[in-house]
Structure 1
Amino acid sequence: MATDHSKAQDEKASDLVDQIHAHYDAGLGRNAIAKAVGASTWRVSQICQANGWDFDQERTRRAVEVHVASAGEQRRKLASRFRNLADVALQGAESTTDPDEMFKFTKVAAVSVDKDDVLDQVDRRSRESSDMATAAGMFTAFGALVRGAAAAQDQGGEPP
């Protein structure tokens, strides 16, 4: 009986390794993998390290980009749902003569419009942050180019 139990544990561990490897190959980060497979980040790190799968800075950067893009898409879908809910609620308010019902529908519409606006502001700020990060990267690259040109001129060489 103990052998059957050990065999089942080995198969379960092997399945977990396979799942982690599939998510790792798909470009997910450690936290996303842990969430997807229902394991702790420590366990994911342990398995990845044992198999030589490294989470370097470039891989982490790409995983963050994927996460940010996914979050943005989720915000846009949710905002669209709030707009639809507001529309339905306003139609309900227009179709009733009961003041209490009208108030309830109007309140749902107002909250939905407010939440849509909040999500739109978050999405706009996210895009602006991304634009700022891109501009900062370009500025850093330009600074390196200028420093390289200055160093070349100081040494009597040609600027790059």
Structure 2
Amino acid sequence: MAAVNGIDTPPGGRAPIDDATRERIVQLAQEGMSRNAIARETGAGTSTVSRICKAAGVTFDRTQTAKATTAHQMDLKAERERLAKRLLAEATAALDQLHAPHVVVGWYQGMASEHTLDRPASGDVKNYMLAAAVALDKHIAIHQLDGSDRDAAVVDQWLEWVFRGIDPMNATGSPI
């Protein structure tokens, strides 16, 4: 055993809790202080605080924790919604590139020259399609995670517009 503040303690352990500290722990818990705050104030471990309070028949009110957890979950869902909208916009932008003029650079005798094509080359078409598909897939995955049927209808509408050649970002009555 090692001595901590003149009191013998097991190796790696804390000094035993004296009766005055036990009473203070119970009093603070009854006043509504959180377990972690009591541990910080008294220098006792959180599990020790829990054990002392349990033995004294004192429980901790978890409503604040539940409210904080719910608020955090709502914040995360809102952030996922923002991300899903960005992914949908990126998918649209990638698909728009399929019908936009495309600049290619060619080299001849060490000199670069640019040429503008009416449409991207086939390799670029593949890359734009892949980028759009991945972004759309991740958009859908986010909405499946949150279980929103309304949002799935939005994606269905977006897909219909894309395949009919309508720009979803400028369509009237856009659900996006």
- TM-score, normalization: structure 1? 0.45
Max radius of gyration: which structure? 2
Instruction: Please give the TM-score of this superposition, normalised by the length of structure 2.
Output: 0.41
Structure ranking higher in strand proportion: 2
Select the structure that is richer in helix: 1
